[in-house]
Amino acid sequence: MSLSLIDPVHTILEQIEEKTQKKIKCIEKNDLDVSARIKMAQKDATSHRLLYKKDHDELINYVIANQCGHIFRILETSKDKRFFPIANKKTMMCFIMEAEDDIRRLSSFFGKEKVKQLIPLWYQGVVFQLTKMPPDLQIDKWLYDKYPELRPIQLNCIKTQLNNAIQGISKDVRKMTPRKIYHTSNIMNFAFFKVLEDHFHLDFVAPYHRTIFLFEGSNLARLTMGEHVNTHEGDRAMIDKWAQHLGLTTWFEWKHYDDIPDDY
């Protein structure tokens, strides 16, 4: 299957090429963990790279448009202020030390070797939410408002994401997950879908109404809607506010874009 995209996504890609004066090179790459990924040209690179899986469906349009949204936010920020959140062994150790009691408890349930495999999954999942959800909120609102042709695909993707998030509320997940991972993940999910719900005028958070996440999630949603400045720098400030609100400030670090390895 060749890479076939709808017109709004072609328009977005062309805008990136025009703004950066660099072409986007499409490269088939079937070992990706997502349907597509855009690698923005760093330093002296002559082109951006759009990596994509050969087998994909129409949802790839939203994946690419979303990633382009992140790139636009970078390009609109001066080079000295282009910082990105990263996770590494040192920051993961902060999680391990905080979750020591839970890791010991879960080791007796899963076994030590299995827990060793689960630790990076638990940790990376929450850090991914923390560092991607605040900018994604602004990007999703931008895509929804500016590209109505993309809207059905976008909503399909968001509803899939919501269905996956709702599964994380279950008592079984709670029993098999470190407490802080379970609580912070669900609080962030609620806040994310609440902000989008209010913008899209849809009902996303009804499944959370009888959970404890309604209260802290609502507080985080109000904080986000009231204080999020719609820029790359505003994203950084909001990520820091989420981290402070949830007690996750040591779980990631900021690094300048030019200093991030190409394979990160």
* Tens-digit pLDDT profile for residues 155-202: 999 999 999 999 999 999 999 999 999 999 999 999 999 999 999 999
CA dihedral 217→221→227→230, nearest 10 degrees, is 130
Mean pLDDT, residues 62-79: 96
pLDDT bin (cut points 50, 70, 90) of residue 66 is very high
- Report the share of the chain in percent with pLDDT over 90: 92
Reported as a pLDDT band with limits 50, 70 and 90, residue 213 is very high
Q: Specify the pLDDT at position 260.
A: 83
Contact 61, 153 (CB under 8 A): yes
Task: Tell me what pLDDT residue 2 has.
Answer: 73
pLDDT for position 97: 96
Residue 3 has pLDDT above 70, yes or no: yes
d(CA 235, CA 243): 12
Tell me, what amino acid is at 236? R
Whole-model pTM: value is 0.94
Q: Which residue has the tokens 């129409």?
A: 58
- Report residue 154's pLDDT band, with 50, 70 and 90 as the boundaries: very high
Contact 36, 55 (CB under 8 A): no
228 within 8 A of 141, measured Cβ to Cβ: no
CB 112 within 8 A of CB 220: no
pLDDT at 45: 85
Task: Answer yes or no: is pLDDT of 252 > 80.
Answer: yes
Cα 26 to Cα 38: distance, rounded to the nearest angstrom: 9
Q: Which two tokens stand for residue 128?
A: 């991914």
Furthest C-alpha separation in the chain = 56
